[in-house]
Amino acid sequence: MKRRIGCGAVLLSVLAAPVLLVAIVSALPKPAPAPALQTVGKVAGIPQRMLAAYQNAATRLPREVPSCRGMRWPVLAGIARIESNHASDRTITARGDITPRILGPVLDGSGTGGNHTAFPDTDGGRWDGTASSERAVGPFQFLPSTWNGSGRDANDDQATDPHNADDAALGAAVYLCGNGRNLDDRAQLRAAIFQYNHSTAYVDDVLGWIDRYSQLATGTLPIGQPATGDARTVVTAALAQTGIPYSWGGGNASGSTRGICCSPSGKTGTTITGFDCSGLTTYAYAQVGIRLPRTADRQAGIGTRIPASLGPGALQPGDLVFFAYDPSSDSTIHHVGIYLGNGQMINAPRPGTQVRSEPLWDHGFAGGARLL
């Protein structure tokens, strides 16, 4: 009898286990659905027609480079953000043609900044408007010589045009893929971007935008996350200062003040009433009774520190957000803003500017701090 009861108990526990498992799984929070791409484009500042071109290129790429893995629209968007800001100041037709054309400087050996390399003409001026040399063209800034090998017809009009959003995006995808990279692998993605532009700083900038667009697309960087309570008061107070001039040393708990120093450019000084970065945050947080130290690096020591390694997705509206010469060292922090949500911050950027809202800077991102 005991053996039967024992076996029955075991049998009962085995039968009950799947039910219990189902109950546990059902109780787990479901991941938030990815936001509509139209919403992502609006928040990210990407024109819808360009976003459609990036999507189309990622979809069509397997036909062109079957061995390539990991091509996603954020990869193309990251490149185009740096190369042309998504052709945002141009007209883009329904078929993808961009006017006026986006043309880089003529590379005839007379450039400044130490780059005096001349590039012989390869297109007779067809794409770049000069038959004596070369210059980068289109939203992805292809050299005509590179376009000759990577250009593709992505809108089925029997032409390959670097000044067409669809063609240019697919051409960039082909170029980044090489002979068949796995762009899900961070090292291979870095190598692909470095091939596009042999600059480590360029690679870091592009990767920062790729990561941000990826977070927006998957919902890991929340869209429409509202500021509430004291955070709303802080954000509202900072936004109310939009348009006030930057003034080095300007701003305190009571509001804007004259600066305490000058600059050779004359863009800041004791005659300008306004805020610097930490003056703005000092004022905004004073509205909820929090007194902050006066400098950005010392403000990083207040509240709960949010490491840069967690990315912007760990930030909430109202958090302080920091930037440093060396993001691993708080002693090198030189700038602070207030996170607004959606990858945006409000800050007093630099001499000659005004308090404004803008995307989080990628270069030098040093995490944040939560005070509320």
Question: For residue range 167-203, what is the model confidence (pLDDT) as tens digits?
Answer: 999 999 999 999 999 999 999 999 999 999 999 989 9
Contact 348, 339 (CB under 8 A): no
Report yes or no: 106 and 131 within 8 Å, Cβ to Cβ: no
Q: Which pLDDT score, from 0 to 100, does residue 31 have? A: 52
User: What integer pLDDT is reported at residue 30 of this predicted model?
Assistant: 53
- The domain 37-102+137-218 having CATH identifier 1.10.3720: the answer here is no
- Residue 297 CA to residue 299 CA, distance in Å, equals 5
Per-residue pLDDT tens, the chain, 372 aa: give them.
333 333 333 333 434 444 444 444 444 445 556 778 888 888 788 999 999 999 999 999 999 999 999 999 999 999 999 999 999 889 999 999 999 999 999 997 655 444 456 789 999 999 999 999 999 999 999 999 999 999 999 999 999 999 999 999 999 999 999 999 999 999 999 999 999 999 998 998 899 889 989 988 888 877 777 889 999 999 999 999 999 999 999 999 999 999 887 766 666 668 889 999 999 999 999 999 999 999 999 999 999 999 998 889 899 999 999 999 999 899 999 999 999 998 999 999 999 899 999 999 888 999 999 999
- Kindly state which CATH superfamily the domain 229-370 is placed in: endopeptidase domain like (from Nostoc punctiforme) (3.90.1720.10)
Residue 201 CB burial class (10 angstroms; 0-12, 13-18, ≥19): exposed
**319: CB partners within 8 A, 6+ apart:** 306, 338, 339, 368, 369, 370, 371
- Give 362's contacts (C-beta < 8 A, 6+ positions apart): 204, 205, 207, 208, 209, 212
Sorted by sequence, the CB contacts under 8 Å of residue 254 that are 6+ apart come out as 283, 286
Contact 283, 254 (CB under 8 A): yes
In angstroms, the CA 286 to CA 300 distance is 16
Q: Which residue has the tokens 């397997």?
A: 62
Q: What pLDDT, on a 0 to 100 scale, did the predictor assign at position 6?
A: 35
Q: Which of 202, 220, 228 lies closest to 311 in space, CA to CA?
A: 220
What are the residue boundaries of the structural domains of the chain, listed by start? 37-102+137-218, 105-135, 229-370
Return the pLDDT at 347. 97
pLDDT of 79-102, one tens digit each?
999 999 999 889 999 999 999 999
Number of C-beta neighbours around residue 122 at 10 A: 16
Backbone angles phi, psi at 118, to 5 degrees: -95, 140
Grouping H, G, I as helix, E, B as strand and the rest as coil, residue 83 is: helix
Q: How far is C-alpha 197 from the geometric centre of its chain's CA atoms?
A: 18
As given in the structure block, the two tokens for residue 104 are: 């880089």
